[in-house]
Structure 1
Amino acid sequence: MKAFYSKAIEQKETIGEILMRARERAHLTRAQAACAAGVQEHYLAALEENRWRDLPGVLYVRRYLEQYANYLGVAPKTLLAQLKIQLVHDHWSNTPKSQSCTRAHFVVWPQRLRRIAMAAVLLAIVGYLGMQLIALTNPPPLAVDYPPDGFVTHLESITVSGSTEPEARLMVNNEAVTVRADGTFSASLTLAKGVNYIHLSVARRFGRERILERRVVRDGATSGVYRVLPRP
């Protein structure tokens, strides 16, 4: 369509009606016109139905309107002048600033999402490091399986056994004791007559230590009899 035709625009005829009548006069469907004019069909529909706010922005409204009008052979200057009046009537700014604000509106949310994601990752890292710090500073577990506290025996020695963490540092009566790979340990101690105090302490490399104590009584008068001595 090479030639333009001038048309007296009636007061009641809208921009969309002018475009639609020109398309129908050319016996084109909306899809055919959109393909030929190089305008997406849903944008073309918005132009024909005067739905300016369904287009990306004012600059796009002007560009698509001019592009579509040129294809249909309708003088675009007349339609653009009518569009300007319509936009003012609808209180929609026709300046590039409005377009910038529109773009900014869509840019803000991705920025906020990135900040929220970064904050979540940072909190997760801080939480993980905090848990690791607590695990390092807290004393490891320590359990003594034998002997029980207050144990009485006639034997001259006794084997202390129990369990803790495999990499923990274990001391029994100020003597280092090797902890096996499965966390168990055992240590043989010589008993003096009377009450013997067995001190056990365990700690990680940079943490606090956990201390347990066991009392074992060597009673020479007792022959092969084991009993538990109650705590005072």
Structure 2
Amino acid sequence: MSIFCYKKIDAAVRLGEQFCKKREELKLTLEEAAEKTRVPLKYLAALEKSRFSDLPKTKVHRLAYVKEYATYLNLSPQACVGQFSCEDGLEGSHFIHPLRAIKLFPFLSISTALRTTILTLLVIFFASYLVWQVRRVLEPPRLAVYAPIEGHVLNQTRTAIVGETEKETHLTINGQDVMVTEDGKFDATIDLTVGVNTITIEAVKKHGKTTTLTRHVVVKQTAGIDEVSLR
């Protein structure tokens, strides 16, 4: 009595690849295999290429071809039929075997504790970033006016307004647009009148949040230009 010892299949490799590799090891052509198994050549080619949609539609014929080809190649028919059943229907969904997925994505193979720690740190990082972005949107823009100081007394009818705000902020002084540099600084000269002058500096974010500062300066008499600058 003859005893057959079927070779175990590697579940991490797709069934078609195993069929093709085993046939090449036996130095057989597809034509020879088709003649011996009486399975149409196009179906053997479809099995080796894992193009299961090219196989007959009936389940009985599909499984019979798999079993016949596995037996001919001295592979375990039961194991091949089982793997075929798992892979069949997954052809269009880019099937990745679980064991191969671990090779493709090493993150899945690390310890649970380390994986949990990494995921926790990532969650904290993204949560912190989200909070920071929300605060940037909800908080009014930063605005500082360095000159003139509140209550400054001048002998001139013009003065420079010097300060700093956030970049990409719309700035106005007494309703007039003022250019802000890329680093948020501004420097503008305005006209004054004799007596008490109210200077309103307003910074508006693109989301509508506003910061307003007011300076009161007094002009005693008309003269030239008071140059105010930061030292």
TM-score (normalizing by structure 2) = 0.44
TM-score (normalizing by structure 1) = 0.43
**Structure with the greater alpha carbon radius of gyration:** 1
